[in-house]
Amino acid sequence: MRKILFVLISIILFSCGDDKQDKVTIAVANNMRYAMDEIAEEFRRTHNLNIQISSGSSGTLTTQIKQGAPFDIFISANMKYPNVLFEEGYAVNSPEVYAYGSLILWTLKDYNLSEGLATLMNSKFKKIAIANPETAPYGIAAVEAMKNAGLNDSLSSKVVWGEGVSQINQYVKSKSVDAGITSKSVLYSKNIKEKGRSVEVNKELYTPIKQGIVLLKHGEKLNAKNAELFYKFMFSDKTKTILTKFGYDVN
């Protein structure tokens, strides 16, 4: 009995020792998750370096970075959080914009969305999912767009608040809501087989969603060469092509 236990424990203990290979650890905002897998793959092919991706909402990742999370680079969905990190001394450089995000109105139900946000006034739409503007950059833009379209008051009873775009996407995908306002990038995810209907929200209705990237002190201190390599890669033509493919504006 003891022998079996000993063997079992040894197997478990030694089964997954961490391999100290060259890699870059990046914290990625949820909306960038779909594009990032492809960018990471391209980077791996070009530089023969692995990327470890940790994704979450920009707010959560910022908290973790402040608490000492071992991320080399932070790829955010806005400029606010990377700016805070820079001002408080967690980042090496002030954030740079690597892409502009776009908002879409998205549904998997058989509704016509051609009139844009105004369609939501229709009584067929009973629940509309929007990301929480307190923490999610795409939520701030969505609320702003609704306000500028003059819909805020009439729609407020229909709104379901989600944690971030990834939760909005889940709500829409599972059809728990009639429509959601989310990041355009979701439509290009390989995990979406049923794309439903979507329409882009008029860009004049919201402040452009500037997405910022910063090199973190952790990366600069322990992994400078690889981290800087990836940072540069995020502004390369290869990355820009992928970002464009996923619905971002890069200029």
Beta strands in the chain (DSSP E): 23-29, 50-56, 73-75, 96-101, 103-107, 128-131, 159-162, 179-183, 197-200, 209-215
Does the protein bind another protein through residue 18 (CB under 8 A)?
A: yes
Give percent helix, percent strand, percent coil of the chain, each to the nearest 5: 45, 20, 35
Q: Give which of 245, 173, 239, 181 is closest to 209, Cα–Cα.
A: 181
Q: How far is the CB of 166 from another protein (least distance, A)?
A: 4
- Among residues 46, 52, 94, 112, the one that binds another protein under rule CB under 8 A: 52
Strands of 209-215's sheet, edge to edge? 50-56, 23-29, 73-75, 209-215, 96-101
Residue 107: strand pairing partners: 197
Pairwise CA distance, residues 204 & 227, whole Å: 36
CB nearer another protein, residue 126 or residue 195: 195
Q: Give which of 76, 114, 112 is closest to 94, Cα–Cα.
A: 76
| Backbone torsions φ then ψ of 107, nearest 5 degrees | -145, 150
Does the protein bind another protein through residue 30 (CB under 8 A)?
A: yes
- Among residues 114, 156, 191, 251, the one that binds another protein under rule CB under 8 A: 191
Does the protein bind another protein through residue 169 (CB under 8 A)?
A: yes
Report the SS3 class of residue 150: coil
Strands of 197-200's sheet, edge to edge? 159-162, 128-131, 179-183, 103-107, 197-200
Judged by CB under 8 A, the stretch of 105-113, 126-134, 140-148, 189-197 that binds another protein is 189-197
Does the protein bind another protein through residue 31 (CB under 8 A)?
A: no
- Among residues 7, 44, 54, 150, the one that binds another protein under rule CB under 8 A: 54
- Among residues 35, 186, 209, 214, the one that binds another protein under rule CB under 8 A: 186
Q: Give which of 57, 19, 3, 49 is closest to 233, Cα–Cα.
A: 49
Does the protein bind another protein through residue 58 (CB under 8 A)?
A: no
- Among residues 69, 97, 187, 250, the one that binds another protein under rule CB under 8 A: 69
Mask: binding to another protein, 129-168, rule CB under 8 A, as x and -? -------------------------------------x--
Report the SS3 class of residue 108: coil
CB nearer another protein, residue 48 or residue 191: 191
- Among residues 7, 9, 222, 224, the one that binds another protein under rule CB under 8 A: 9
- Among residues 22, 41, 44, 66, the one that binds another protein under rule CB under 8 A: 66
Q: Give which of 204, 221, 208 is closest to 248, Cα–Cα.
A: 208
- Among residues 6, 7, 8, 150, the one that binds another protein under rule CB under 8 A: 8
Does the protein bind another protein through residue 21 (CB under 8 A)?
A: no
CB nearer another protein, residue 160 or residue 192: 192
Residue 25: strand pairing partners: 52
Which positions touch another protein (CB under 8 A)? Answer: 8-9, 12-13, 15-16, 18, 25, 30, 33-34, 52, 54-56, 64, 66-70, 166, 169-170, 173, 186, 189, 191-192
